[in-house]
Amino acid sequence: MERTLIIIKPDGVARCLTGKIVQRIEDKGLTITKMVKTTLETPKVEAHYAHLKDRPFFSDLVAYMTTGPVILLEVTGENVIQVMRNLAGPTDSCKAPAGTIRGDFGTSVTQNVIHASDSVEAAESELQRFF
């Protein structure tokens, strides 16, 4: 069994997509083991996206992630990290195929509805950071 961090980003929460996203996760047979609604503070978002701090979009990304409430989820299941990345789809919503969360609900590369951890190491450190 593996666990991963999912964040329903501010655009997803504001557009009332939480129920649909949770449904997709449960329909896939995964288990939501923690779920919290909160508004993220800038330092936590900066730490979460530290690997992108030299990219030109970093400040816009941090500003966006702190604009409103998010839903933090710990999701547990077999190969959950890869399975959730597959459900999320590619980073850029405009290139994400229909049937993926980003393909169906995302509106841009920034406003791409959810975060999903990309490795066991990232998942463990992100879960520790946010829970």
Rounded CA separation 71/77 (Å): 19
Q: Does 21 bind ligand DAT (CB under 6 A)?
A: no
Name the burial class of residue 43, with classes exposed (0-12), middle (13-18) and buried (19+) by CB atoms within 10 angstroms of its CB: exposed
Count of alpha carbons within 13 Å of 101, Cβ hemisphere only? 29
Out of ligand DAT, Mg ion, none, which partner does residue 120 contact, by CB within 5 to 8 A per kind? none
- Catalytic residue positions, numbered: 115
| 57 sits near ligand DAT (criterion: CB under 6 A) | yes
One-letter amino acid of 71: I
Considering only 19-27, 28-36, 37-45, 109-117, which stretch makes contact with ligand DAT by CB under 6 A?
A: 109-117
Q: Does 112 bind ligand DAT (CB under 6 A)?
A: yes
Q: Does 24 bind ligand DAT (CB under 6 A)?
A: no
Among 91, 94, 97, 99, binds ligand DAT (CB under 6 A): 91
Per-residue b or e along 68-83, where b marks 16 or more CB atoms closer than 10 Å to that residue's CB? eebbbbbbebeebbeb
What are the residues binding Mg ion (CB under 5 A)? Answer: 118
What are the residues binding ligand DAT (CB under 6 A)? Answer: 52, 57, 61, 91, 109-110, 112, 115, 118
